[in-house]
């Protein structure tokens, strides 16, 4: 639970939850995300899913720009790491 006052976080309470996890799936996610711990992996995965709609909206805005996108992937200024994808 996070409490805001005038747009500033004044209190955050983390909640501990006991859940059964698929160890193989968790390990695959950890390798893909480059995280070290189960906690970091779960937080990174949750963050990625929670922010997905924002990334998709940004992509839609870019695609709505009237431009010839041909050859963009060959441009040397195009980011190339796995975190650049939606």
Return the pLDDT at 40. 95
- Judge contact between 29 and 45, C-beta under 8 A: yes
- Alpha helical stretches, state H, the chain: 23-33, 38-50, 52-63
Q: How far apart are CA 81 and CA 76, in angstroms?
A: 13
Q: How many CB atoms lie within 10 A of CB 41?
A: 21
Return the pLDDT at 68. 78
Q: What is the pLDDT of residues 25-54, one digit of tens each?
A: 999 999 999 999 999 999 999 999 999 999
Question: How far, in Å, are 49, 50, 56, 78 from residue 29 at the CA level?
Answer: 13, 16, 21, 25
Q: What's the average model confidence in pLDDT over 49-60? A: 91
Extents of the domains making up the chain: 22-65
DSSP 12: E
């Amino acid at each position: 639970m996070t409490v805001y006052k005038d747009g500033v976080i004044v209190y955050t309470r983390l909640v501990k939850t006991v859940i059964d996890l698929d160890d193989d799936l968790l390990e695959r996610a950890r390798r893909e995300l480059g995280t070290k711990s189960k906690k970091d992996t779960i937080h990174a995965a949750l963050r990625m899913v929670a922010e997905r709609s924002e990334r998709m909206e940004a992509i839609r805005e870019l695609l709505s720009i009237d431009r010839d996108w041909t050859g963009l992937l060959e441009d040397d200024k195009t980011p190339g790491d796995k975190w650049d994808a939606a």
